């Protein structure tokens, strides 16, 4: 009997074809439908491997629904919504993708959001579509701008470094903060100056967040931190929503404590507060940092590689809970 694989949303056709060569594949065909808890339970009961995406919540009940479940293979970098402890207890490998795959695409989007909010591109687009053209030299759409400003990069992993490299093409000062400071050669190569956390917040015009989400970084940016920022500053978040206290952000925006925000991620996805959506100085996108055709294909291929290894009885290459292999040995 061929193994059975369930894919929670459409992925690249080439990746699906690779799986269909060795297994029976069932896939939710709707790109706009996030499978429900009941659908996940049913899929887990009737399939050997779950191929899931970042937005899927795989809890202990789903994992325990099938005592013969062989693997949970995700295209996320950090499986925050997968119960790793439950999977590990049952000896089920949970696989992810390398973070480096997403560095360039995420940095590209962060820069796009900077320009969108810093030059009021979204506001201007809405006005033009509504037939409102203020005049080519009207001050109605006067904006903060990018050139001559300061960029603060919070977190200097792969995406943070990609942000810094792109900044080299603009007349903009570049600062960063990370608890693990780069060596002086790397700082010089990237044109970066390290600042303490609070000083960075109070110095920059644009603060771009590139920090991993964990219990220590949840609400890294809250009311205290927002109060330290300049009134003309903008917050850019393409990392994870819960890094920012959304209620505190709304309060700061309403009070004019900061000039605006550009957000690809949200604290309680897929929900976005209506208050944020109604603010003209807030740009929002739909968690699309990796939404590049070639990248999405590469991400799916990594997941397929992991699935094929599991089906062959081999250790998966990108296993989040490798301790299961020591137990099985």
For residues 174 and 311, membership in a common domain is answered with no
* 153 three-state secondary structure: strand
* 99 three-state secondary structure: helix
For residues 94 and 132, membership in a common domain is answered with no
For residues 90 and 197, membership in a common domain is answered with no
Q: Which residue among the candidates 161, 240, 257, 296 is catalytic per the annotation?
A: 240
Mean pLDDT of 134-159: 92
Pair 241, 211: CB distance under 8 Å: no
For residues 62 and 176, membership in a common domain is answered with no
**Which one, of 316, 322, 314, lies nearest residue 97 by Cα?**
316
For residues 93 and 105, membership in a common domain is answered with no
Residue 296 annotated as catalytic: no
Reduce the secondary structure of 274-327 to three states and give it as a string.
HHHHCCCCEEECCCCCCCCHHHHHHHHHHHHHHHHHHHCCCCCCCECCCHHHHH
Q: Which residue among the candidates 18, 161, 177, 287 is catalytic per the annotation?
A: 287
Categorize the per-residue pLDDT at 187 as very low, low, confident or very high, splitting at 50, 70 and 90: very high
Categorize the per-residue pLDDT at 328 as very low, low, confident or very high, splitting at 50, 70 and 90: low
Pair 29, 11: CB distance under 8 Å: no
For residues 175 and 218, membership in a common domain is answered with yes
Q: 175 is written with which tokens? A: 């600062």
For residues 193 and 64, membership in a common domain is answered with no
Residue 44 has pLDDT above 60, yes or no: yes
Residue 121 backbone phi and psi in degrees, to 5 = -65, -45
The CATH code of the domain that includes 165 is 3.40.50.720
Pairing of strands 260-263, 193-194: unpaired
Q: Which residue among the candidates 123, 187, 199, 269 is catalytic per the annotation?
A: 269
pLDDT tens readout for residues 159-186: 999 999 999 999 999 999 999 999 999 9
What pLDDT, on the 0 to 100 scale, is given for residue 225?
Answer: 98
Share of the chain above pLDDT 70, in %: 99
pLDDT tens readout for residues 254-294: 999 999 999 999 999 989 999 999 999 999 999 999 999 99
Distances (CA, A) of 41 to 7, 24, 60, 70, 221: 13, 18, 10, 15, 36
* 177 three-state secondary structure: strand
Mean pLDDT of 81-85: 96
Greatest CA separation for the chain: 72
Pair 310, 70: CB distance under 8 Å: yes
Domain count, the chain: 2
Mean pLDDT of 247-253: 98
Categorize the per-residue pLDDT at 207 as very low, low, confident or very high, splitting at 50, 70 and 90: very high
For residues 210 and 94, membership in a common domain is answered with no
Q: For the chain, where are the alpha helices, taking DSSP H only?
A: 13-20, 37-46, 60-64, 84-89, 103-118, 121-129, 158-167, 184-190, 197-203, 223-228, 246-254, 274-277, 293-311, 323-328
- Chain-centroid distance of CA 308 in Å reads 26
Categorize the per-residue pLDDT at 147 as very low, low, confident or very high, splitting at 50, 70 and 90: very high
Q: How far apart are CA 69 and CA 46, in angstroms?
A: 9
For residues 267 and 313, membership in a common domain is answered with no
**Which one, of 98, 102, 95, lies nearest residue 308 by Cα?**
95
Residue 287 annotated as catalytic: yes
Mean pLDDT of 225-253: 97
Categorize the per-residue pLDDT at 139 as very low, low, confident or very high, splitting at 50, 70 and 90: confident
Q: What is the mean pLDDT of the chain?
A: 95
What pLDDT, on the 0 to 100 scale, is given for residue 150?
Answer: 98
For residues 247 and 219, membership in a common domain is answered with yes
Which residue range is the domain that position 199 belongs to?
101-284
Residue 123 annotated as catalytic: no
The DSSP bridge partners found for residue 27 are 7
Residue 329 has pLDDT above 60, yes or no: no
Distances (CA, A) of 167 to 146, 153, 161, 190, 202: 10, 10, 10, 9, 20
Question: pTM here?
Answer: 0.91
For residues 64 and 213, membership in a common domain is answered with no
pLDDT tens readout for residues 104-134: 999 999 999 999 999 999 999 999 999 999 8
- Chain-centroid distance of CA 286 in Å reads 10
For residues 86 and 54, membership in a common domain is answered with yes
């Amino acid at each position: 009997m061929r193994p059975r694989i369930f894919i929670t949303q459409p992925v690249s056709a080439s990746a699906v074809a690779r799986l269909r060569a060795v297994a029976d594949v069932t896939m939710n065909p709707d790109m706009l439908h996030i499978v429900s808890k009941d659908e996940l339970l049913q899929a887990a009961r009737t399939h050997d491997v779950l191929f899931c995406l970042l937005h899927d919540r795989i809890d202990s009940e789903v994992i325990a629904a099938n005592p013969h479940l062989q693997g949970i293979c995700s295209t996320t970098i950090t499986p925050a919504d997968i119960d790793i402890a439950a999977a590990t207890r049952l000896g089920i490998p949970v696989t992810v993708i390398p973070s480096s795959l997403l560095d360039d695409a995420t940095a590209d989007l962060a820069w796009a959001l900077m320009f969108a909010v810093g030059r009021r591109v979204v506001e201007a687009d809405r006005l033009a579509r509504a037939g409102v053209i203020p005049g080519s030299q009207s001050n109605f759409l006067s904006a903060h701008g990018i050139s001559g400003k300061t960029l603060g990069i919070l977190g200097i992993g792969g995406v943070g470094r990609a942000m810094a490299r792109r900044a080299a093409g603009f007349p903009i000062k570049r600062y960063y903060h990370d608890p693990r400071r780069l060596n002086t050669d790397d700082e010089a190569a990237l044109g970066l100056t390290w600042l303490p956390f609070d000083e960075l917040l109070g110095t920059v015009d644009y603060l771009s967040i590139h920090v991993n989400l964990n219990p220590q970084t949840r609400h890294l940016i809250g009311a205290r931190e927002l109060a330290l920022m300049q009134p003309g500053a903008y917050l850019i978040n393409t990392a994870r929503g819960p890094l920012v206290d959304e209620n505190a952000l709304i309060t700061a925006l309403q009070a004019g404590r900061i000039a605006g925000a550009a957000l690809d991620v949200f604290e309680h996805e897929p929900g976005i507060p209506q208050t944020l959506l109604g603010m003209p100085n807030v740009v929002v996108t739909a968690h699309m940092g990796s939404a590049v055709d070639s990248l999405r294909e590469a991400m799916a291929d990594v997941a397929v590689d992991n699935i094929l290894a599991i089906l062959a009885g081999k250790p998966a290459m990108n296993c989040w809970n490798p301790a299961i292999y020591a137990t099985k040995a």
